């Protein structure tokens, strides 16, 4: 997965439960030629995943990164934190196919992984598929717009 001159800057963040996987993925991504912004944590001391999810969302919305990789024990908590921001489309994935479809159909800008649920090789496959897939647009485009601007409850019924 060698990076091209147009590859996105990748922000990566985790909690303490996923620190080891984050450290390994950061090294791997850099070895592959990607520009990686490591938002922490930088050791295994206990931290709160929402803080790191919000930091990743902020890095993307401020333009310090174009895409992100988020990790926690299950991937659930940090993905919820990131998705609190209306510009974020964070997809929790468990395999390469879901990672590819998250980009292709949902224009996901962050991929979330559960370090206690998948191994490093599966994580690498998910990231490879995520980074290597373009948004399909077309019939999916209107749906993606709705993700950032949901209708009022009465309008959805």
- Residues involved in catalysis: 72, 105
> Rounded CA gap, 6 and 38, in Å?
19
Rounded to the nearest 5 percent, the helix, strand and coil shares of the chain are 50, 15, 40
Radius of gyration for the chain, computed over Cα atoms and rounded to the nearest angstrom: 15
Contacts of 20 (CB under 8 A, 6+ apart): 44, 115
Q: In what order do the strands lie in the sheet with 110-114?
A: 36-38, 10-14, 67-72, 110-114, 90-92
Q: Which of 38, 111, 122, 53 is nearest to 85 (CA)?
A: 53
CA distances in angstroms from 81 to 33, 76, 77, 129, listed in the order given: 28, 9, 6, 23
Give 92's strand partners.
112
């Amino acid at each position: 997965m060698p990076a091209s001159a147009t590859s996105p800057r990748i922000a990566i963040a985790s909690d303490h439960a996923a620190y080891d996987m984050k450290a390994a993925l950061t090294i791997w991504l850099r070895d592959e030629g990607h520009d990686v912004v490591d938002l922490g944590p930088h050791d295994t001391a206990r931290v709160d995943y929402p803080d790191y999810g919000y930091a990743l969302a902020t890095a993307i919305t401020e333009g310090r990164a174009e895409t992100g990789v988020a990790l926690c024990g299950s991937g659930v908590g940090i993905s919820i934190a990131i998705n609190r921001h209306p510009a974020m489309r964070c997809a929790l994935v468990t395999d390469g196919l879901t990672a590819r479809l998250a980009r292709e159909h949902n224009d996901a800008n962050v991929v979330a992984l559960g370090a206690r649920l998948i191994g490093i090789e599966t994580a690498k496959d998910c990231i490879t598929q995520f980074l290597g897939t373009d948004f399909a647009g077309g019939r999916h485009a209107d749906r993606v717009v709705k993700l950032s601007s949901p209708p009022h409850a009465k309008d959805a019924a």
